[in-house]
Structure 1
Amino acid sequence: MKYALLALLASAAPALAHPVTVQSCNREVTFDAPPARAISNDVNLTEMMLVLGLRDRMVGYTGISGWKTLDEEMRAGVAELPELSAKYPTKEVLAGAEPDFFFAGWNYGMKVGGEVTPETLEPLGIKTYELTESCIHIGPKARSSMDDMYNDILNLGTIFGVSAKAEELVAGWKARLAEVTAGVDRSKPLRVFVYDSGEETPFTAGAYAMPTAMIEAAGGINIMDDLEKSWATVAWEPVVERNPEVIVIVNYGDVTAEQKIAFLEANPAFANIDAVKNDRYVVLEYVEATPGPRNIRAVEKLVAGFWGN
C-alpha cells in the first residue's frame, strides 16, 4: 500500500507544481495545470514539443505541409498526430480541435491584427505561449541569441511540468555548443548573408532572427545585423556592397537550395560577391534556421562551412 501511494504521488508530481506563471513576450501567462490538449504551429515549434516528450499531450499540429518543411525525421515524430491546417490555422480550426494550449509565434501561425492571437483564443479556453524570437513583432526585445531557443524549451518545461527534462536538454545543448565552437577564431569574423528566398528582392534574417545568433556563435557576422527586424525583405544593392564571404541558404518550399545557388551564380550582378566567386555556401534546412532543437546541429554546419572543420 505504501509503495502504491508513493508511485501515485510520483506520477502526480508535475501537476503538484502548478499553478505556474511564465513570461510570453509582453504577457505573463498562468497555467493552473499542465495542458493536456496542445497544438503547435510550424515544424520547429512542433519539434520542441516532441523533444520534450509531449506528443501524448498533443491533439495535432498546424502549418507544416503547406510550406514543405517536413523531413523524414519529423514525419516519424508526428506520424500519430493529425495536421489540422497546412498553413496558418483559422480560429474555427483551432476551436474545433478543443485544445487547451497553442504554441505559436508572430509570423509563426499568428499575425499582428489577425483573427488568431492570444487575445482571441483566450475566450475559447485556449492559452497561448509565443515563440521568443517572434516577440519583436509586437514590441522591443533583445537581439537574437541562443538563449531565445533555450528560453522557450525551459518555459515549455515549466508549463507542462517537465522542467527536469527541459533543463537536461538545455545543459546538453550548451555543452555541445561550447565544444563545437571551442576552436573558432573570432578575431576576424566572416561576412555572412542569409538567403531565404526571393529573386527580385531577397528575404533574409535581420538582427532578431535566429540565424544571426548562430552565425555569431560560429565565428561570423550577419551582414544584415543592422536590420532592426527578424525576417524581412531587403534590396540586393546592400548585399552586393557588403560583399559576403559566405552565403547561408535556407532550404525549403518549391525552390530548392540548388536552384537558389544557380540563380545567384547566373546573375551578372552578383559575379563579384566573394561568396559567389569562391562557391562558398552553407545550406541549412528550414527547421535548422528557425528556433528549435536543431539549432546546435546548424551551428556545427556553419562552423564546418566557415572554417573547414
Structure 2
Amino acid sequence: MIHVNAPFKYTAIVLTSLLVNTVYAAQRDTAHYPINVESCDRIVTFDHKPKAAVSNDVNLTEMMLALGLQDSMVGVTGISGWKTLDPVLRAGIGELPELSPKYPTKEVLLGADTDFYFAGWNYGMRVGGGVTPDTLTPLGIKVYELSESCIHIMKKPKVSMDDLYDDLTNLGHIFNVEERANKLVTGYKKELKDFQANLAPLDHPTKVFVYDSGEEQPFTSGMHGMPTALIEAAGGKNIIDDVQKSWIQVGWESVIDRAPEVIAIVNYGDVTAQQKINFLRNHSGLKDIPAVKNNRFVILEYVEATPGPRNIQAIKRLAKAFRTE
C-alpha cells in the first residue's frame, strides 16, 4: 500500500482543481467566440478573448480594472504625460507597465505584442493619425473605441450615462465576462436611481459651466461630453449643451452672457483646481456672473468628469453643489 503524505495530497488537489478550472474556462471561451461588437461606426469581430490588451488614459483603464481584466492586459498608455497617477489606480494596475506616457505609436503597441487596444478619439487616437483602427487592424490589433468619443467620426445622440453602460457591457462581451459586466452596470443604475429618488427638488435646472482649462479661451464640454450627462443627472443644465461637440474651446463672452450659477472645475495636470478658481475669481469679466459672485465652485477629478466607474460619485458631488448656496 502506498502512503501519500498530506502536503503532496493537498498540492495534487490544488493542481487538479486548477486544471479543471482552466479546461472549463477554455471550453467556455470556445463556446463564446466568435462574436461581433459595435464600435462607433464599425462592427468588430473577435475570434477569441484578447490576451494582450492595452488601455489608454486613466478613465478607460479604470473601466478595465473595474471588470477585473488585469490578467488580460500587457500595459497602459497615455497617463503620466498629462496626469498624476491616482494611488487607487496605481494599486489596481499592479505590475502592469506604462508603455507610453502619452499617446502610443504603432511601434510601442507592436513591441508589447498587443492584440487589443481600448482607446478613443482624443483618448489615445487622433483622426488622421498614425494610430487608428484602420492602421492597427492590419497588424492584428483589434480596437474598441470609447463611445463618448465617437462624435469625432460620426453622428450620435446626445451623451448620456448609456455611453458608459454600453462600453462596460461591450467590454464584458469582448472578454467573455458578461455576468461581471452586467452586475456592475445593474449596480450603477440602481445606485443612481436610488440617489435621484431622494434628491430635494430644484426650482429650475442649475446652470453650469464646465471649466477644463485655458485662459485666453476656456476649454469646456459641449453636448457630447460626459459632463453634460453628469450635470443633467444631478439636476442641472450645461450652459454649452447647444454646441454639438464633446470638448471645445469657446469665448468668455458666451460664458458671461449665459451667467452660470455653478462652475465645475476639472482637476488634472500641472495647474491645480485652486489655481483655476483663483484665475476665474480674478478675471475682470467674470466677477459679476452668479457662480463667481456667490463662490459656487465644484471640483471634479479628471476620472470623474470623463466616462468611467467614478461617474456616479461625480453626479452625487454635483447634486450636492446644486443644492448648496
Provide the TM-score with structure 2 as the length reference.
Answer: 0.92
Change (3 A) 1:115 1:218: same
Out of 94, 116, 137, which is 1:79 matched to?
A: 94
Contact residue 202 and residue 323 of structure 2 kept, 8 A: no
Shift of residue 12, structure 1, vs aligned partner: 3.4
Q: Structure 2 matches for 1:235-246, cutoff 5 A?
A: 235-246=251-262
RMSD: 1.8
In the alignment, the residues of structure 2 paired with residue 7 and residue 194 of structure 1 have an alpha-carbon distance, to the nearest angstrom, of: 48
Out of 173, 185, 205, which is 2:221 matched to?
A: 205
Shift of residue 16, structure 1, vs aligned partner: 2.0
Question: Does residue 1:171 correspond to 2:186, yes or no?
Answer: yes
Question: Does residue 1:287 correspond to 2:303, yes or no?
Answer: yes
Contact residue 15 and residue 161 of structure 1 kept, 8 A: no
What's the CA shift string for 1:70-93, capped at 9, x where partnerless? Answer: 211111112311001001111111
Shift of residue 15, structure 1, vs aligned partner: 4.0
Shift of residue 9, structure 1, vs aligned partner: 2.6
2:305 partner letter: A
Residue 10 of structure 2 is matched in structure 1 by none
Q: Structure 2 matches for 1:128-139, cutoff 5 A?
A: 128-139=143-154
SS, match of residue 185 in structure 1: coil
SS, match of residue 127 in structure 2: coil
Question: Does residue 1:217 correspond to 2:233, yes or no?
Answer: yes
Contact residue 184 and residue 218 of structure 1 kept, 8 A: no
Question: Does residue 1:13 correspond to 2:19, yes or no?
Answer: no
Residue 247 of structure 1 is matched in structure 2 by 263
Residue 177 of structure 2 is matched in structure 1 by 162
Shift of residue 187, structure 1, vs aligned partner: 5.3
In the alignment, the residues of structure 2 paired with residue 243 and residue 69 of structure 1 have an alpha-carbon distance, to the nearest angstrom, of: 32
Contact residue 103 and residue 131 of structure 1 kept, 8 A: yes
Residue 47 of structure 1 is matched in structure 2 by 62
Q: Structure 2 matches for 1:91-170, cutoff 5 A?
A: 91-170=106-185
Contact residue 265 and residue 276 of structure 1 kept, 8 A: yes
In structure 1, runs of 5+ residues without a counterpart are none
In the alignment, the residues of structure 1 paired with residue 30 and residue 296 of structure 2 have an alpha-carbon distance, to the nearest angstrom, of: 50
In the alignment, the residues of structure 1 paired with residue 138 and residue 94 of structure 2 have an alpha-carbon distance, to the nearest angstrom, of: 31
Say which is worse superposed, 280-289 or 71-80, in terms of deviation: 71-80
Residue 275 of structure 1 is matched in structure 2 by 291
Change (3 A) 1:8 1:92: closer
SS, match of residue 38 in structure 2: strand
Change (3 A) 1:30 1:79: same
Contact residue 69 and residue 287 of structure 1 kept, 8 A: no
Say which is worse superposed, 70-79 or 190-199, in terms of deviation: 70-79
2:171 partner letter: L
1:261 partner letter: I
Contact residue 251 and residue 284 of structure 1 kept, 8 A: yes
Residue 302 of structure 1 is matched in structure 2 by 318
Residue 34 of structure 1 is matched in structure 2 by 49
In the alignment, the residues of structure 2 paired with residue 269 and residue 6 of structure 1 have an alpha-carbon distance, to the nearest angstrom, of: 65
Shift of residue 68, structure 1, vs aligned partner: 1.3
Change (3 A) 1:6 1:254: closer
| Structure 1 stretches of at least 4 aligned residues deviating more than 4 Å after TM superposition | 4-7
In the alignment, the residues of structure 1 paired with residue 252 and residue 45 of structure 2 have an alpha-carbon distance, to the nearest angstrom, of: 45
In the alignment, the residues of structure 2 paired with residue 140 and residue 185 of structure 1 have an alpha-carbon distance, to the nearest angstrom, of: 33
Change (3 A) 1:187 1:31: farther
In the alignment, the residues of structure 2 paired with residue 248 and residue 237 of structure 1 have an alpha-carbon distance, to the nearest angstrom, of: 18
